[in-house]
Amino acid sequence: MGEIERMSKSYPFGRSRRLGLRAEVSAVFDAKVSEARGPLVMYAAPNELGHPRLALVISRRVGTAVVRNRIKRRIREAFRLHQHDLPVGYDMVIVIRPHEPLILAEYQKLLTNLMVRLHQKWSEK
């Protein structure tokens, strides 16, 4: 990616990019369209916003607070950096299974692969 392309795109991850309400997260789960890869299970449902939104679900079984927060930070960063490469207009909920934290590039690859598969599932409906 050239310097000019990099400067023209913004990589926000503010409130508008997050699923915050319980009803929004429940709506994604109720759509029952999911895909699993490695330590991540992603649920997705289309939205009318024109940009993707993300929510993370992680239990205490994954590890200590330090480990859970490290994993969440890396997944959020992977989403932030790849949001322009993902299909637009989806709400995503990622359920994180117990695992050792991966490097950022691995989470980026998992996230992209999962979203491409879910987009294919929604396109077939």
CATH number of the domain where residue 100 is located: 3.30.230.10
pTM (predicted TM-score):
0.82
Flag whether 32 is in a domain. Answer: no
Each residue of 32-73: pLDDT tens digit? 889 999 899 999 988 888 778 889 999 999 999 999 999 999
Each residue of 108-122: pLDDT tens digit? 999 989 988 888 888
Residue span of the structural domain in which 92 resides: 41-125
Over range 11-24, report the average pLDDT: 71
Domain count, the chain: 1
Flag whether 29 is in a domain. Answer: no
Flag whether 48 is in a domain. Answer: yes
Edge-to-edge order in the sheet of strand 40-46: 34-37, 40-46, 90-96, 53-58
CA 44, 46, 48, 51: dihedral to nearest 10 degrees? 50
Q: What is the spatial distance between Cα 24 and Cα 39, in angstroms, rounded to a whole number?
A: 23
Q: What is the H or E stretch that residue 55 is in?
A: strand 53-58
Query: At how many degrees (to 10) do helices 104-124 and 65-82 cross?
Result: 60
